[in-house]
Structure 1
Amino acid sequence: MRPAQLAAAALAVLLLSSCSSLPPSSPAATPPATGGGTASQPATASAPATQADPSGTAVEFAAAGDFGDGQAAAEVLDAMAGSKAQFGLALGDLSYGSPGKESAWCSFVADHLGPDIPLQLLSGNHESDGRNGSIDAFAACLPPRLPGAHGVYGRQWFVDLPQRDPVLRLIMISPGLDFADSGRWDYVPGNEHYDWTATAIDSARDAGIPWVVVASHLPCQTMGRYDCEPGPAVTNLLLDRKVDLVLHGHEHLYQRTHQLSLGPGCPSLLPAHSAAACIADTDSDFVSGSGTVFATVGTGGRPLRDVNASDVEARYFAAYSGKNEDPTHGFLKIRVTGDALRAEFVRAGGGNFADSFTLHRR
């Protein structure tokens, strides 16, 4: 076994050991129920032997959020299936349906994706608080199928891909979401969620995994209708650690930034503000380690919303599409090898919007 593999294995054991020793309120343990009723419990990420394992030196996956169960969502899922991605990544806000009907949406997904492309879940605000179903129920009918996942599936988990000689660590987090059984999950310096995220990133770097991609339902910088709902602290953590790519949903549009970076002229990225010094590169052909690209892909099927091109944060964005700007449903297809991370927006219906970008290893 190579030194990088030994380091990765040791760090995984360390993280799992620390998870098992944490109190029930820890993000790596099952969050306790609160209030007078009985809350369903989230499934801990695991991987039965029959589940899919992305193999080879390349990892390819499709990411989108904000689906529903209408014609546009069906077209997006059909396009994912046709893309031959190894798996799909749901960036939150799943069915928009009634509580208790989660299995119907899971069947809808399976009918369009087929048995060979699992959709792996991250909660959005519509299922974290139970208004449109429970993330735990969705996780039960679309369970974890990527071997070696650690954490609480659907809420906060990570996985290294492929399992042997990984080129990618994919980290899923839930800053700013209110969970029905455990309240709001804040990610601020010194708390358990923030520390879990920092450890997941740092241990990937220490293990020599080339690429780190983080997914979080709520964006901070945006040209849509929302404010910085997750809070700026976690966004600045991701920038400080030079995470390569961050994926979001929530806003029903597509928006992708330039490569952003902290530095002497940009000590932090502030909400409702922009600074030229925070932009590291603008040509869509980036070098890893120079900064972070943020992509919101809320184009999974729900009706699209307007993009505000006059927003003060608009200078951070290189490409965007919404109801008033070439409205197009689709997903971001991401291909990761040891040398490069390539991403392309794949159209599923509507307009003809296109976007692509590449990060290269130094």
Structure 2
Amino acid sequence: MPRSPHRTRMRLAALVFSLTLLLVMTTLGIIPRASSTTTAFSFASAGDTSTLTAGDGLNSLNRLAGSRADFFLGVGDYSYQSSMTGDVWCSQFKAKYSNIEIGPGNHDTGETNDTSGTRSYERYVAGCSFTLSSQVVCGPVAGQCYGKEYYFDYPSVNPIARFIMISPRVFNVTGVCTTTCNAVAKSPCNDTTGCWPYNKNDTHYNWTASAVDSARTTGIKWVVVGMHKVCISAGAESCNIGTNLFNMLVAKKVDLILQGHDHTYERSKQLAFNSACTGFTTNSSYVLYNSSCVVDDGSRGFYTAGGHGFLKYAVSTDRIDIQTDFAGTYQDSFSVVSPTTSLSASFTYSPASPTIGAQVTFTATASGGTSPYSFDWNFGDNSTAQGNPVSHSYTKAGSYNVALTVRDSAAPTPNTQTMTNPVSVSPTPLSLSVSGPSTATTGSPVAFTATASGGTAPYTFAWTATGGSPSSGGGSSFTTTFNAAGTFVVSATVTDANSQTSNASQQIAISAPIPPLSASFTYSPSSPLPVLPVTFTGSATGGTQPYSFTWDFGDGSTATGQSVDHSYLLPGAYTVTLTVTDAGGQTAKAYQTVTVTIL
């Protein structure tokens, strides 16, 4: 494939990334691993391409089409030929591979290749339009979004990565130049030259920082920032994007930085920390990058030198594996993994103030080390349990040292961490109940009983009975007598060994005693004759009304009712019995002899 006088063909977009990665790993002491886990998705990336119809460019594009990458992220400089417009280039690319999302390079905007025409980069934006189902979130400048300054989260549902595409110091990215545009590159980077400098705390710098922060806040695992120009370089370029932007990305621990522009992307040497470095300086917000602290360690890298191609990134929830794919024989692979932090453990329990017999739920939290974790509990009362969460109840009050031991899955020797917290168990709350009759009569002794529970034995009791005799007393039982009718309250107070108190009371209604039931009756006429009716009228006193009346006339006949009539057929003496029954079931009887005569 033909090459431009000073540019190579479809190159990697990753040396700056690998240098940045190594800087972070050197600082944190992370050792890359080559093993992989289940991949959630993959994407490819490259910049500085050329013709797509022959040579390495075509071969690389064909390999990309067979790579099974979910999408391709272009980081600028897609064509170096002024006759090759963006719409044509995109159609050639999409004929082989359709999911391409882009950011601008300086050749694409007309900064360096004398491109004439109005807003030539807009043809790339239109021809390589956004193809994914994820939502595009625009940068701060209206009308300058996809292809220039935007981000998207991937996958669109439950995303694990945020891709932030920015355009630091690419002249004419907004299309202000409409004729020969390479002269603007020598001008200040500002709105007049269609250039965004990403100076510290300017609109574009702050938008980028906010996009990184919001990804972390929402729990998105990986943050990838793509751009064309570089800061760390293995070639002729210097820090084109400015140290303010780069330092901010390093300070916020961006996971991947994808860049193009430099054209010397293969790792030819391993890197090391310069022992002569005086250290990283800081200002009020982040660590400053110092290029003199990163040096060539003199050893050959783990690679086979070769041609040109692209990088494929396999992204999972706990790692990103990167593999190069080249037209020649160059191969290199390395992995980005989450750092393994020290195992730590903590636990909480609920309720915060447990009492005897209450179920206490213990919930553990573990982090660092190697998951999954196992959890062992010692509750401080010779009881143990395993799992998370667990529940336990205590049979005695006191302070117990609860120990949680967490064991991780590190091989060959698991790590353990033990956390101990005191748990104070209180007695159950002191309570009191009073039992006794709810009614009684004047002059009759009434007995009450107090029952205490909870608190701490032994208990003492005090009684109050206003209107009773006696009106106070002690002990768990109390007897008093009320001599007047009315409603009275008998109260008790219990005090436990810890001076806690509880109160209870019983209401009682006192009434006068009921007189005994008595019965009597009269009859008329006083000298009854045979066959003629005799009227019997009963009466009752005492007892509880109402009354019922039952009659036995002495001749085998009976009747009910307070006043009844009866006729005797024969003369003679008959014993009449009246039985009165009150509402309480008491009975009283009255007897009289009735003599029936013949005139």
On whether the aligned pair clears a TM of 0.5, the verdict is yes
Unaligned 5+ segments in structure 1 are: 1-55, 277-312
Counterpart residue type for residue 124 of structure 2: F
Structure 2 distance, partners of 1:252, 1:61, is 21
8 Å Cα contact 2:85-2:123 kept in structure 1: no
Aligned to 1:195: 206
Deviation readout 1:240-280 (Å, 9 max, x if unpaired): 100011111111122569799xx973534557x3215xxxx
Post-superposition shift, 1:110?
A: 1.7
Post-superposition shift, 1:350?
A: 2.2
Going from structure 1 to structure 2, the CA distance change for 1:316 and 1:205 (only over 3 Å counts) comes to farther
Post-superposition shift, 1:73?
A: 1.3
Question: Could you say what secondary structure the match of 1:343 adopts?
Answer: strand
Structure 1 distance, partners of 2:99, 2:222, is 22
Q: Is 1:176 paired with 2:162? A: no
Which residue, out of 133, 136, 141, partners 1:149? 136
Post-superposition shift, 1:87?
A: 0.6
Aligned to 2:40: 58
Going from structure 1 to structure 2, the CA distance change for 1:269 and 1:128 (only over 3 Å counts) comes to farther
Question: Could you say what secondary structure the match of 2:126 adopts?
Answer: helix
8 Å Cα contact 2:234-2:265 kept in structure 1: no
Structure 1 distance, partners of 2:265, 2:94, is 25
Which residue, out of 70, 78, 83, partners 2:67? 83
Identity of aligned residues (%): 33
96-105 vs 235-244, which moves further: 96-105
Aligned to 1:128: 109
Going from structure 1 to structure 2, the CA distance change for 1:239 and 1:173 (only over 3 Å counts) comes to same
Aligned to 2:99: 118
Counterpart residue type for residue 118 of structure 1: N
The 5-angstrom pairing of residues 238-253 of structure 1 reads 238-253=249-264
Q: TM-score, normalising length from structure 1?
A: 0.65
Question: Could you say what secondary structure the match of 1:138 adopts?
Answer: helix
- Identify, as 1 or 2, the structure richer in helix: 1
Question: Could you say what secondary structure the match of 1:159 adopts?
Answer: strand
Unaligned 5+ segments in structure 2 are: 1-37, 139-144, 177-190, 341-599
Which residue, out of 317, 331, 346, partners 1:353? 331
Q: TM-score, normalising length from structure 2?
A: 0.40
Deviation readout 1:220-242 (Å, 9 max, x if unpaired): 11110111111111110100100
Runs of 4+ in structure 1 over 4 Å off: 255-260, 268-271, 313-321
Post-superposition shift, 1:340?
A: 1.4
8 Å Cα contact 1:185-1:193 kept in structure 2: yes
Q: Is 1:275 paired with 2:293? A: yes
Which residue, out of 49, 52, 60, partners 1:67? 49
Question: Could you say what secondary structure the match of 1:165 adopts?
Answer: coil
Aligned to 1:101: 85
Deviation readout 1:176-203 (Å, 9 max, x if unpaired): 2112424221111110110010000000
Which residue, out of 144, 149, 162, partners 2:155? 162
Deviation readout 1:129-166 (Å, 9 max, x if unpaired): 36458221101011011220111111111110111111
Counterpart residue type for residue 47 of structure 2: G
Counterpart residue type for residue 308 of structure 2: H
Counterpart residue type for residue 210 of structure 1: K
Post-superposition shift, 1:109?
A: 0.5
Question: Could you say what secondary structure the match of 1:178 adopts?
Answer: coil
Going from structure 1 to structure 2, the CA distance change for 1:239 and 1:100 (only over 3 Å counts) comes to same
Going from structure 1 to structure 2, the CA distance change for 1:316 and 1:339 (only over 3 Å counts) comes to farther
- Identify, as 1 or 2, the structure richer in strand: 2
Higher RCO (CA-CA < 8 Å; seq separation 6+): 1
Structure 2 distance, partners of 1:122, 1:134, is 14
Q: CA RMSD in A?
A: 2.9
